[in-house]
């Protein structure tokens, strides 16, 4: 994940957030969970960038959206809680993190904070889809595959 690519994700997420009436915090991390770009939302939101980084780090580590991971771990809260200690830099156990793929390979993740957990997830998901960086077989690709398969 290079700076220019990360900037496109950040700008797209900020634009999608503004369209929803929310000034979101956005973190773009590489596949190893290292920050490439981080932007705070509201000036008084001291925790927003940390939440966004934790969501992106978790999505990058598992190559899945944090919304899917939380759903997957329902009823197993001890497992995700253990991750807060073992993943360097920490993670945020909330929806709003989505992995970024290029040519089928995870190159990083986006984390969004500042809205509701579902609102954060929607901004992150829409950003990744808008830039064509979703996992093959999901999102727009899945709709295209389903449509082609039906014909």
The yes-or-no verdict on residue 125 having pLDDT over 90 is: yes
Domain count, the chain: 1
Q: Which domain does 118 fall in, by range?
A: 3-150
Sign of CA dihedral 50, 78, 88, 7: negative
Please name the residues in contact with 97: beta carbons below 8 A apart, sequence gap of 6 or more: 54, 55, 56, 57, 58, 59, 60, 65, 66, 109, 110, 111, 112, 124
- Mean pLDDT of the chain, nearest integer: 88
For residue range 21-78, list pLDDT tens digits in order: 999 999 999 999 999 999 999 888 778 899 999 999 999 999 999 999 999 999 888 8
Can you tell me the mean pLDDT for 115-124?
96
CATH of the domain at 108: 3.30.450.150
The yes-or-no verdict on residue 149 having pLDDT over 80 is: no
The whole-number pLDDT of residue 85 equals 77
């Amino acid at each position: 994940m290079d700076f220019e690519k990360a900037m496109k994700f950040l700008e797209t997420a900020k634009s999608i957030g503004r369209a929803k009436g929310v000034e979101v915090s956005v973190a773009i991390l590489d596949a190893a969970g290292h920050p490439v770009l981080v932007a705070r939302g509201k000036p008084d939101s001291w925790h927003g960038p940390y939440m966004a980084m934790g969501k992106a780090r978790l999505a990058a580590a598992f190559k899945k959206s944090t919304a899917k991971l939380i759903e997957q771990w329902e009823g197993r809260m001890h497992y995700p809680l253990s991750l807060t200690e073992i993943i360097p830099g920490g993670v945020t156990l909330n929806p709003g993190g989505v992995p970024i793929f290029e040519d089928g390979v995870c190159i990083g993740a986006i984390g969004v904070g500042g809205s509701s957990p579902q609102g954060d997830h929607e901004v992150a998901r829409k950003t990744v889809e808008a830039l064509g960086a979703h996992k093959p077989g999901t999102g727009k690709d899945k709709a295209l595959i389903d449509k082609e398969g039906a014909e």
